[in-house]
A = this chain, B = another copy of it.
Amino acid sequence: MSQAAQRPAGPAARGGGRPTLEAVAALAGVGRGTVSRVINGSPRVSDKARAAVEQAIAELGYVPNRAARTLVTSRTDSIALVVPETETRLFSEPFFNDIIRGVSAELADTEMQLLLILVRTKKERERLATYLAAHRVDGVLMVSVHEDDPLPTLLERIDMPSVLVGRRSDVEPLSYVDADNAGGARMAVRHLLRRGCTQVATITGPLDMEPARARLSGYRRALEEADLGSDEALVGRGDFTESGGREAMRGLLERRPDLDAVFCASDLMAAGAMQVLRETGRRVPDDVAVIGFDDSIIARHTDPPLTSVRQPIEEMGRTMARLLMDEISEEGRARRQVVLATELVVRSSA
């Protein structure tokens, strides 16, 4: 019987036939330890041995077995991107795409794998908790956390490296990356004031979300700086949705029909608001100037095209990944916070 006959399909066909580190060692005429050292970039290898090993690796097309490595190191070389599903619809649509793009770009020349975990139900959330507690990933990226989300607390407790995009409140203990929501809002309102508007209203997001609060405070700040008293009748409550924007706009017009500008905390709400303005015979921007937030795809397609505050979303994704990698490699590192600048994209609505 020849060697080959000893391995009759089955296990071999199931993926067992790939070259192992041992095979590389044999071909290169060195020991397993040396091959391992070469692969892991240890400096304690002679040039000669390294060359032989690299040659053998290339020849065999060897790729290290991740599971075996994980088993012994208990590093998984993968991180999870956790997205509460309820959120995904609220987001200005490209948000999620761009975050992923950024994260993925930053991870590209790393060994890190990106695991995508959407959380819908309570049951799934519990399952995820177990999963994380079992340290199945080296780190966690969390998108859009509500104030009362228990997951971040868990992450903190089990000391899992993790980075949020957006913070839960302004005393967020975990690492996070955020856009300068307050600054963006302030910039938008200043733009409206510079245009000559004097009765500037705002439509806020749901105020149990930090970004919504921050945008509102930026609005207030800009008015204060211009020595314009803030009239609470000029503040309408929305929920980041289009219909929410419509309703809030109607309420504002009822209370303050003389308003001449609206800063909306999302483009979707701005789109809703503009519909109402048009219905009530007001022209944008001549009668009422409108600014949105997010610079989402719809901003370019409203009529007139919407001036909006852009967040550097892809950059945020990249930064998150970078922070997380650092947190993973430097054990016991302090949590970090990064706030990235926003930018006003001026179109025709203001």
Binding site for B on A (CB under 8 A): 9, 13-16, 18, 61, 63, 65-68, 70-71, 74, 76, 78, 81, 85, 88, 93-94, 96-97, 100-101, 104-105, 108, 113-118, 120, 124, 130-131, 133-136, 159, 271, 297-298, 301-303, 331-332
Contacts and interface: CB of A to CB of B under 8 A. Distances in A.
Contact of A303 (B114, B124, B303): B303
Contacts of A124: 108
Contacts of A13: 159, 331
A115 B115 CA distance: 5
A116 B63 CA distance: 20
Contact of A70 (B63, B67, B120): B67
A130 B301 contact: no
Given A113-B115, A120-B108, A134 B301 contact: no
Contacts of A303: 303
Contacts of A101: 85, 88, 118
A271 B305 CA distance: 13
A91 to B, nearest CB: 9
A298 to B, nearest CB: 5
Given A100-B118, A116-B81, A93 B297 contact: yes
Contacts of A302: 301
Contacts of A298: 297-298, 301
A105 B124 CA distance: 11
A159 B9 CA distance: 12
Given A93-B93, A297-B298, A298-B297, A100 B74 contact: no
Contact of A104 (B18, B61, B116): B116
A116 B118 contact: no
Contact of A134 (B9, B16, B63, B104): B63
